[in-house]
Structure 1
């Protein structure tokens, strides 16, 4: 099942297992079960710490459970945890086997102290780059707390469950049989939903923090670069964000980050966080900034208020809130989001196998999505508002060569249709004659660009009509002491490497601002 190179890497990882484990499999006569047997045999062959059993009696087959020898509690995978989920499998083996997780001690104690019983099920697809964060977080909960169970389910292997539960987007999480959440969720976000007292405790922690010399809001490439460059100056630096990595986490392949020939979004985000931590930056994840209170007088302190309570103070700010997928804003879109309306073809595409779908948007992202989907679905229709596609010529040629792909230009999407449970069609206006036409389909993938996350900044700093933060050549905003960088600003070309460079520039500008303030001598927070 695994090639020799992967076996070698796995053997090196499993050397860290200090507790004897059992892999308990429940197999059937399917081809997937045969592959699972091969995978488990390859894993067990890499260390004498793992015993393999085929006497499982789980309701789902094929499946297997990872548990400590002599215990009846563990984490379970139904279907094959390959593709993006192979990392989740390796981490589950290591953490169940006694290797400490990379989370703060207080988080471990918070997990162990959760009251009640929680039985989680997560549906994933092997091509989903958003799923591993959720699977790994819930696996960790189950490993640390015996009152919590978790089963990670490959939707492609259990299509009847996916259809029965009307799942049209992954990751899809169920708690005790009821819907719990959909889409990427961090460990902090999951704990906040389970631990109702966590918000108040976190607000108290924020309020107790000292004054930062530089506080960065947002933790994508721009934010992490800002934090690193500020911290390297020896000044008190903090970074506040809902999740570390930002939009990078939703990127599959990255091949234009200079000196890195190829990487994936999740890997780059992890590397950015690790690099930031090396410099002692106070990283505050799981928080959403909602308001900035400017100083009462020039050179005073900025206050950043956080949703749910709590506030931070800083002598200067670097704003890097990033951007999110732009929506069509037509009737039915919100109602059928995650019920046929999707924004990540790599994540949700496998759920539409053999079905008819549309892709909205004729840029590179839209055409690439249509090409990818054409290999999975029965038919894909690309809809572009303009009279011609905007994607690279090579991509257009590839799409036009596919027998199950159709291109419609000069079309304005007007309405998403559904039957109350799922998408059944899409209406659009033919802009050449005003005629309204309708496509019968089961999925709509929206790929029409990004919108900056700056609504909360209206009235604080100058924004363009498109919502971008106006900055000068030094990254300074319309407010002295507030700088900005990344995709939420007026800097052209929204690229990872550009955001990182702009983040570094903003931090250097903030430092220059600080040293020119009489009261801005650096001191520890």
Structure 2
């Protein structure tokens, strides 16, 4: 099942096992089951600490449990965990075998303290780059806490189950039979959602922190660069981020960051966080800012109030809150989100195999999505508001060469229709003639650009008519001691490399601001 290169790599990893593990399979006569048997046999052949049998009786076939020797429960994989999920399988093997996870002890302790009956089912696709984070988080929780059970289900192998549960976006997580969450989540986010009192404890902990010299709000490329540049000045730096890496986590491929020939979003985001932590920056993840309180007097402290009620204080603040996917804002979009309305073609495209879908947006993102989907689905209808596609010419040429793609320009989406449980179509108006059209389909992928995450700043910091933070050439806002960088600002061209440069610039400006505050700097170096 595995080629020689993968076997060699896997054998190296299995050499890290500290205790024996047992693979218990529930198989049938399907082709997927035969491949699963081959995979498990290969794994068992590579280490004397791994055994395998076919004594499982689970109703989902093929599936298998990764269990400690002498036990019958553990992380269960239903289907064949290859593609993006092969790493998840390897980590489940290592963690079950006693190899310590690279997770802070505080997180492990939080998982162990969860009390209750938690039976998770997570549906994923092998092409989904968001799924591994959720799969690995739930796998870790299952291995650490015996009260938690997790089944990882490959949607392509259980299509009838996916359709019966009306799953149209992955990762999709059920807890005790009810929908728990959809989309990328970290282990910290899952634990926080299960532990209802975690917010109060977190607020109290953050309230007790001393003031920072520089507090960065946001953990994407701009925020990470700002934190690194500020920390290298030898001052006290904190980062409060809703999720480290920001929107980069949702990017499939990065090929234009100078000096990095090719990488993917999650790897790039992990590298950003690793470098920030290398400089001993105080990283506070899962923190959503709700209010900015300017200093009451020159040289005073700026405050940032967080969603759980906690407040952080700093002598200067760098806002790098980034942006998010823009909504179409038509009837049906919110009602059918994750029920046919999707925003990630790489993640959710395989769920629409053999079906008809639409892509809204004719820029690079929209055209790339349509090209990608055309190789999976039956037919793609691309809807563009402008009178021509705005994507690069090479992408437009590729799109027009595909036989199962239909393009409508000068078209205004007016409604996403459904039957109450899932999407059934899309309506658009021809802007030239005013004629209304209805397109029957099963999915709508929205790719129309970004909107800045700045709502919490209204009335405090000057914003453009598009909601972007107005900054000057050095990253200054109109509020003393407050700077901004990245996709949330008026700086043109929303690119990773530009955001990183702007973050570095904002950090240098913040430091320049601090050295002109004699009392503040005296305290900082004392």
TM-score bin, normalised by smaller chain = over 0.9
Aligned pair 1:202/2:202, yes or no?
Answer: yes
- Structure 1 counterpart of 2:524: 523
- Structure 1 counterpart of 2:489: 489
CA positional deviation for 1:43? 2.0
CA positional deviation for 1:524? 7.9
Query: Is the contact between residue 22 and residue 52 of structure 2 (CA under 8 Å) also seen in structure 1?
Result: yes
- Structure 2 counterpart of 1:447: 447
Aligned pair 1:130/2:126, yes or no?
Answer: no
- Cα distance between partner residues in 1 of 2:29 and 2:161: 19
Where do 5+ consecutive residues of structure 2 fail to align? none
Aligned pair 1:193/2:219, yes or no?
Answer: no
- Cα distance between partner residues in 2 of 1:499 and 1:34: 48
CA positional deviation for 1:326? 0.4
- Structure 1 counterpart of 2:213: 213
Query: Is the contact between residue 65 and residue 72 of structure 2 (CA under 8 Å) also seen in structure 1?
Result: no
Kindly report the root-mean-square deviation, in angstroms, between the aligned alpha carbons of the 2 structures: 1.2
- Structure 1 counterpart of 2:32: 32
Query: Is the contact between residue 291 and residue 457 of structure 1 (CA under 8 Å) also seen in structure 2?
Result: yes
Query: Is the contact between residue 236 and residue 524 of structure 1 (CA under 8 Å) also seen in structure 2?
Result: no
- Structure 1 counterpart of 2:257: 257
- Structure 1 counterpart of 2:87: 87
- Residue by residue, what CA displacement relative to the aligned partner does 1:279-313 show, whole Å, maximum 9, x if unpaired? 11111111101001111101100111000111111
- Cα distance between partner residues in 2 of 1:414 and 1:219: 35
SS at match of 1:269: helix
- Cα distance between partner residues in 2 of 1:37 and 1:502: 52
Query: Is the contact between residue 24 and residue 72 of structure 2 (CA under 8 Å) also seen in structure 1?
Result: no
Query: Is the contact between residue 318 and residue 507 of structure 1 (CA under 8 Å) also seen in structure 2?
Result: yes
- Structure 2 counterpart of 1:17: 17
1:278-317, aligned counterparts within 5 Å?
278-317=278-317
1:308-387, aligned counterparts within 5 Å?
308-387=308-387
CA positional deviation for 1:479? 1.1
- Cα distance between partner residues in 1 of 2:12 and 2:315: 46
Query: Is the contact between residue 481 and residue 510 of structure 1 (CA under 8 Å) also seen in structure 2?
Result: yes
Query: Number of residue pairs matched?
Result: 525
1:352-501, aligned counterparts within 5 Å?
352-501=352-501
CA positional deviation for 1:398? 1.2
- Cα distance between partner residues in 2 of 1:457 and 1:186: 26
Query: Is the contact between residue 289 and residue 304 of structure 2 (CA under 8 Å) also seen in structure 1?
Result: yes
- Structure 1 counterpart of 2:268: 268
Query: Is the contact between residue 23 and residue 65 of structure 1 (CA under 8 Å) also seen in structure 2?
Result: yes
SS at match of 1:263: coil
Query: Is the contact between residue 120 and residue 149 of structure 1 (CA under 8 Å) also seen in structure 2?
Result: yes
SS at match of 2:132: helix
Aligned pair 1:71/2:55, yes or no?
Answer: no
Query: Is the contact between residue 212 and residue 524 of structure 1 (CA under 8 Å) also seen in structure 2?
Result: no
- Structure 2 counterpart of 1:163: 163
- Residue by residue, what CA displacement relative to the aligned partner does 1:381-431 show, whole Å, maximum 9, x if unpaired? 011111111111111111111111111111000011110000111110101
- Cα distance between partner residues in 2 of 1:242 and 1:224: 13
Where do 5+ consecutive residues of structure 1 fail to align? none
- Structure 1 counterpart of 2:246: 246
Name whichever of 241-250 and 42-51 sits farther off. Answer: 42-51
